[in-house]
Structures are given as structure tokens and as C-alpha cells.
Amino acid sequence: MTEPNVTGNLHARSTGHVPVLLAEILATLQPRPGETYADATAGRGGHASAVAPLVGATGGIVLNDADAENLEFAAARVRASTAENSPTPTVTPIHGNFALLPRRMEQAGLRANAFLADLGFASNQIDRAERGFSFARAGPLDMRFDASRGLSAFDLVNQAPERELARILREFGEEPAAGRVARAIVAARATGAIATTDALADVIRSVVSKPPDSGIDPATRSFQGLRIAVNDELGSLDALLAAIESAARKLRPDPPGSVPKTVAGPGPHPVPWLAPGARVAILTFHSLEDRPVKAHFADMCKSGLATDLAPGGVTATEEEKRSNPRARSARLRAIRLNGG
């Protein structure tokens, strides 16, 4: 995927990010008055602020993001989106990785009727050089969604063994020259730490040639691979998918004669974080994300835990792809949980 250039877009300039497939997501999730909507990746609050007036003053909005600044922006935007016309729903901001969100919701007694995870980075993150996501902007090598914890791209690039770097670039970046790039990184760092995005991009470009007539920078795949590794993006997604399935299992009606699951038992949180009939949508931007979502949702539908709300996945219209390049690779998958 190429880095989207959204800086020319007026809406993106004022909010930092244009929500992708917004109309399709609202049509799929169908938020209703009084319901609770949970947004695992609040970002700049684009989706959540459109949902807020639909759940109304009696509804709830749970906002989660690993990026504290985005979370704060999203919460303020959601509150402002309804304040002018009608009372605001209850807004609950939760800072952290969405892998932990289901447990934190259960601990807080929160239950979502509609849920969205819009994966990856927000445009404002990649547009700000100091976040270190972009090979096109000179900045410190960071790439963490949550800048308050964990290893940064600097740590990974300057400390990981060559084999580990090659694996990351191959598996997460799908970089055919992964071995060559890893070797070049190890050779370059022997003469001094690789501290900036442009220094790393130069190392990569020295061993990966640009395909003729392609607008794609040779550093694109490697940067994607490092970002995915730094944020454990696929591990977090796996944990989220497991938690969705676990909630659906808890909601499945008990077979006749069995002990009901909702009676106090060995589990600490007998009431799951998703409500019976919850609509669950996940928006992906590349095949590494889409593959596990597709497989997991298909398994859940096959075993009677859920119903597919978007067979084959929903992609953006040509018009949206033209006006928002980030929408070009987007695919929405959605299910409704059975049970309850």
C-alpha cells in the first residue's frame, strides 16, 4: 500500500483523517437510540461522531485508542457532534491496545450493540514527521501508536538480529528483498545508529530498486513491515478476533439441561462485552489484516455463532476512492452475533 496523500483534502486538514466507508458502516451497524457503540480505533472520531446522534442521549459511546492524543480529540469531537442539537450520549474513553478492550469493557460492565475496528494508522499520524511513520518525512524512527510504551522502530532497527529483521520485512512487509534489506540495515548500523526515517529509507533504497513506471517508493514495504511489528498489529487483531468469538460463545443459548453460563461460575466476567445480536464490523487495508478477519468470521458463521452482514466484503465506491486514496485498499467485513 502506498502512503495516502490526504493533505490536499479539506476535511482531512481540519480533522486529520477522513473516515473510510462511513455510509456503508452506518448502514451495516445500524446504531439505534439507546444502544452502546464501541469503537476500538477511535482515531479522529470520524465514525464515532456520526454514530453519536443515532444512539442519542440514552445511548453510550465507548472510545478506545492506543494513541492518547487521538483518543482525546475523538472524545471531544463526539461530544461536540451532538451537543449543538441534542443531549450527548455517555462517552467512555479507554486508552490502550484494543486487544485489552474486551476485558476492560467487561470489568466496567459495558456491553456493545455495535462495534467497529478501523485498522491501521490515521492520516494525522503519518502526516506528522515526529511520529516517525513516514519514509516521505524526515523524523525520529518511532512508529508507535502508543508513544508512552513499548519498543520503537529505533529499537527494532538498531537492535534486532539480522534474521529477525528479515522475517519482519518478509512476513509483515511482504518485501521480496527482505534478506538484502536486513543485511544492509545491519551493515549501516555498524557504523552508527540509524536514527531517522530518512536515514532508514536511504539504506533501503540503496538495495531495493524502484520498479519501472511505478509510483511506489522502494521503502514502502519495509516501513509497513516495521510498523506492523512495532505495534504488534497482527497479534492485537488475533486477540480481538478471539474475544469476539469468545463473547459469541457465551451468548449461544445453553443446550437443554445444561447449567446456564450466566450463573456465577468460575469465569470472572460472565456477562460478555458484546450484547446479544451485536453487529461487529472490521475495516482492513491489506491482505495480512483481511485474511484472518475473513477466516474468523467465516468460521463463526459456519458454526452458527454469527450471521454474515457483508458477504464477500464491502469496498469503496469509485467516487470515494478518487476523493480519498486511503479508501482504495479498504475492505469492510461484518457479522451479527446470534444468540440471546
Residue 144 contacts ligand SAM per CB under 6 A: no
User: What length does the chain have?
Assistant: 340
Residues 165-224, interacting with ligand SAM (CB under 6 A): none
Provide, rounded to whole angstroms, the least separation between the CB of residue 194 and ligand SAM: 24
Residue 313 contacts ligand SAM per CB under 6 A: no
Alpha carbon 205 to chain centroid distance?
28
User: How would you label 56-82 residue by residue, b for 16+ Cβ within 10 Å and e otherwise?
Assistant: beebbbbbbbbbeebbbbbbebbbebb
Residues 221-280, interacting with ligand SAM (CB under 6 A): 231, 236
Provide, rounded to whole angstroms, the least separation between the CB of residue 44 and ligand SAM: 4
Nearest C-alpha neighbor of 89 from the set 44, 52, 37 = 52
Between 67 and 290, whose beta carbon lies closer to ligand SAM? 67
Give residue 260's region: left, alpha or beta (phi > 0; psi -120 to 50). beta
Residue 3 contacts ligand SAM per CB under 6 A: no
Provide, rounded to whole angstroms, the least separation between the CB of residue 12 and ligand SAM: 10
Q: 326 φ, ψ to 5°? A: -65, -25
Three cell numbers at 252?
449461544
Residue of 118, 175, 290, 320 that binds ligand SAM (CB under 6 A): 118
Site string for ligand SAM, 8-37 (x = CB under 6 A): ---------x-x------------------
Provide, rounded to whole angstroms, the least separation between the CB of residue 48 and ligand SAM: 7
* 174, 160 contact by CB (below 8 A): no
Span interacting with ligand SAM, options 40-48, 149-157, 243-251, 256-264, rule CB under 6 A: 40-48
Residue 336 contacts ligand SAM per CB under 6 A: no
Between 67 and 245, whose beta carbon lies closer to ligand SAM? 67
The 3-state DSSP class for residue 309 equals: coil
* 122, 326 contact by CB (below 8 A): no
Three cell numbers at 230?
512495532
Between 37 and 135, whose beta carbon lies closer to ligand SAM? 37
Residue of 37, 145, 172, 273 that binds ligand SAM (CB under 6 A): 145
Between 98 and 273, whose beta carbon lies closer to ligand SAM? 98
Between 50 and 271, whose beta carbon lies closer to ligand SAM? 50
Measured at CB, which residue is nearest to ligand SAM? 43
Q: 298 φ, ψ to 5°? A: -65, -45
Q: What is the DSSP letter of 63?
A: E
Three cell numbers at 290?
483481511
Count of positions on this chain that bind ligand SAM (CB under 6 A) = 22
Q: Which residues contact 240 (CB under 8 A, 6 or more apart)?
A: 40, 98, 99, 101, 102, 117
Q: 335 φ, ψ to 5°? A: -135, 160
Span interacting with ligand SAM, options 62-70, 133-141, 171-179, 246-254, rule CB under 6 A: 62-70
Residue of 75, 112, 122, 169 that binds ligand SAM (CB under 6 A): 122
Residue of 6, 44, 143, 248 that binds ligand SAM (CB under 6 A): 44
* 38, 64 contact by CB (below 8 A): yes
Greatest distance between any 2 Cα atoms in the chain: 70
The 3-state DSSP class for residue 103 equals: helix
Between 123 and 338, whose beta carbon lies closer to ligand SAM? 123
Provide, rounded to whole angstroms, the least separation between the CB of residue 90 and ligand SAM: 20
The 3-state DSSP class for residue 273 equals: coil
Three cell numbers at 277?
445480536
The residues that touch ligand SAM, with contacts defined as CB under 6 A, are: 17, 19, 41, 43-47, 64-67, 70, 97-98, 118, 120-122, 145, 231, 236
